[in-house]
Structure 1
């Protein structure tokens, strides 16, 4: 695909974005319902395309945890459909007045939410992103150009065709959702340079992938995050609660960005808790790495390297660090984390408040799994990604985060003196 083809897509997206900006909430919600129903109706077709992606992934030796990201089942398609229905039920962010006032010169000023325009979504592996991104962008009045990874190309083509057909049946320009089906690196690079057509680019994938996009893109970026997520078990933790939370955060879906990758233990509970934790992780086929103190308690633990502390595994691997106190835990986490999601397990209110105040991350938990960092779990219906940056948006990004603001100023002949 050459630059001319991409520019044509960009022009179509801009035209569609203008049309979306004129739609009312009822029109958008009716189209979202049609999109949700179309996914369920086309379940068989979607799964057949997904089988081709899964077969290719296995042939290419992709690890099992990553194949799980690719897999679509009737339940997962129903979940995607339900996500669109939840987006449909959310308040429409467009036209929402965030503030208003009258100036000394008699000007009436309001600040209202408006669409960003055309959003470019460049992502790896997970085909559900195709649906989540399309639905959220549409709810917020944006057109979207999607570029998924080669691993899910067959699934993404069928999903995007299904959504476009539902838009057409709703008498809405189907170019509100477009998919780049050329998965070459050259085309991805060209997409990142479409600053005259794409208003913002959102990358979603591994830390290495996101860094590549950030380094090469000419389009403004909202950086969504790699997840080197930690769980700190305090000296005042309920250890049964801690064990349950850690196993959930690591094992339920180890390939996703909100899975726990590191456990930090207070030294006072390490001797009692670490053998229990090791046995539970080992029973779930998780490789456990650790520092010298951890290995001294459980000799079977694999020695951790300096590289381990900053690595997002996306796999059945976890590393354990033992610290002297809460302050050391906070310093360690802030040094190595990716500003995604961090959790403290404690029954001590003061320790909880200190951790939540001093940890630098988009989402900070007390006594809960990091796996809850998710747009659907937060009540956003879906998410376009977890922003780990501090400008514009941070944390799970729902429809509201896919808008910007405009000042509307009403005068009555005023001129500035």
Structure 2
């Protein structure tokens, strides 16, 4: 079968599975998720063996350390995947939730109820654990999903696909509710994103190049974020020890992810007291600092920042630092260079904190906390399928509720429109 024939067949089967899922209740979905968790644990060694082959090929191909980190599945990672399935099973089912009900003057009772989106195409790179996360969230929210992972993770994804399908068969759910595209042919993506009559939503997750390609060529609505240019603004009234811990965590804890800090903004009134020790701590951790002129007047050893550094998503131990005159300048900088992802202010001033929360146009805005908290699990959503910065129809981490939409339901007693 051609690649086009294969993708069209998968989409057709996903459509039938999505229809079947509409009538399947929470208990059956949760049973399937818990069975998936059990099978992941049973087949842990097999998953590790297949993943090791993917990792070996990735090293030979010269993939970056960040990419290999995302690709690698360890025993604890697999256990975490199993626990994630169980956590999703324990979450409330959004399908069928009534979000409002009101009576019209003519007696009609009008309501809105949450329903699945339908068939979701999920296109992603490197992280095979995302295969399980996406399958869990889509299944629990009543959606069928077609998963197209990167070529670097093909063996890991295919063994995971077999395990998930086995759990669906054993629990009586439609096996084609979760499908992994079994080819590394890039044509599969182009075909999938063109099936606007069969697929309801495309979610790309990966590098900016992949996401821009999907957004530019898809005939289907796309939920996306291109990159995470995240800022921490240290205000003049910040507690310096708190600011140091927040900034260090935001940059160093895991620099290769989209919610890591890429630019540090510091009020001129605190810069002289805050930056010397902060930069020294960063440098000891291997962080390369690229500073503005005012930053370099405080720490002359740092590299001079260039214009390209301010909009950059480094995904590495590199940090741009700028001293600003006031909150207004910080807000202007974020408005110009931010990516609507995550922004933090560190301050003890309530009015400035509230202004920051109100004026910053990003999916998650924090006061006195690390940018690393922009994560579905950390925010209490359970697992997430991704972070959307395009605002429609969700903004920020996408959990179960964000994988549903609503429809109107109307109860009448013989009313006709005059």
Please report the TM-score for the alignment, with normalisation by the length of structure 2: 0.97
Residue-by-residue CA offset, 1:327-378 (whole Å, 9 max, x unaligned)? 1001101111110111011111112111111111000001111111111112
* Cα displacement (A) at 1:207: 2.4
Q: Which residue of the partner structure matches residue 188 of structure 1? A: 189
Residues 1:134 and 2:135 aligned together? yes
Aligned residues of 2:18 and 2:118 also touching (Cα < 8 A): yes
Conserved? CA contact 1:83–1:376, under 8 Å: no
Aligned to 1:69: 70
Q: Secondary structure at 1:109's aligned position in 2?
A: strand
* Unaligned segments of structure 2, at least 5 residues: none
**Structure 1: where are the runs of 5+ without partners?**
none
1:219-262 CA distance string (max 9 Å, x none): 11112352111111111111111111111111121111111111
1:401 alignment partner in structure 2: 402
Give, in whole Å, the separation in 1 of the partners of 2:325 and 2:214.
39
User: Shift in Å at residue 186 of structure 1?
Assistant: 1.7
Superposition pairs of residues 16-415 of structure 1, within 5 angstroms: 16-415=17-416
Q: Secondary structure at the match of 2:313?
A: coil
Q: Is the 8 A contact 1:225 1:257 kept in 2?
A: no
Q: Deviations over 1:126-165 (max 9, x none)?
A: 1121111100000000000001112222211112221111
Q: Tell me the SS of whatever aligns to 2:322.
A: strand
Following the alignment from structure 1 to structure 2, what is the Cα–Cα distance between the partners of residues 133 and 400? Answer: 14
CA-CA distance at 1:184 after TM superposition: 2.6
Secondary structure of 2:265's partner? strand
C-alpha distance in structure 2 between counterparts of 1:151 and 1:296, whole Å: 45
**For residue 6 of structure 1, what is the aligned residue in structure 2?**
7
Structure 1 segments, 4+ long, off by >3 Å, are none
Give the SS at the match of 1:99.
strand
Structure 2: how far apart are the matches of 1:196 and 1:77? 36
Q: How many residue pairs end up in the alignment?
A: 417
- Output one character per residue of 1:185-218: Cα deviation in whole Å (capped at 9) or x when no partner: 2221111101111100011112232122111111
The answer to whether the 8 A contact 1:205-1:226 is kept is no
Q: CA RMSD in A?
A: 1.3
Name the SS of the counterpart of 2:410 in structure 1: strand
How far residue 320 of structure 1 moved from its aligned partner, in angstroms, is 0.7
Whether the 8 Å contact between 1:69 and 1:255 is mirrored in structure 2 is no
CA distance in 2, matches of 1:33, 1:49: 23
Q: Distance in 2 between matches of 1:109 and 1:245?
A: 47
Which of 17-26 and 184-193 deviates more? 184-193
Please state whether the residue corresponding to 1:28 is helix, strand or coil.
helix
Q: What is the CA–CA distance in structure 2 between the aligned matches of 1:10 and 1:75, rounded to whole Å?
A: 34
Contact 1:230 1:263 in 2 (8 A): yes
**What is the DSSP-based 3-state SS (H/G/I as helix, E as strand, rest coil) of the residue aligned with 1:17?**
helix
CA distance in 1, matches of 2:226, 2:136: 20
CA–CA separation in structure 1 for the residues paired with 2:322 and 2:162 = 47
TM superposition score normalised by structure 1: 0.97
Deviations 1:255-310, CA, capped at 9 Å, x for gaps = 11111111111112212221212211111112111112112221221222211111
The CA deviation string for residues 164-191 of structure 1, in whole angstroms up to 9 with x for no partner, is 1111111111111001122232221111
Q: Is the 8 A contact 2:249 2:370 kept in 1?
A: yes
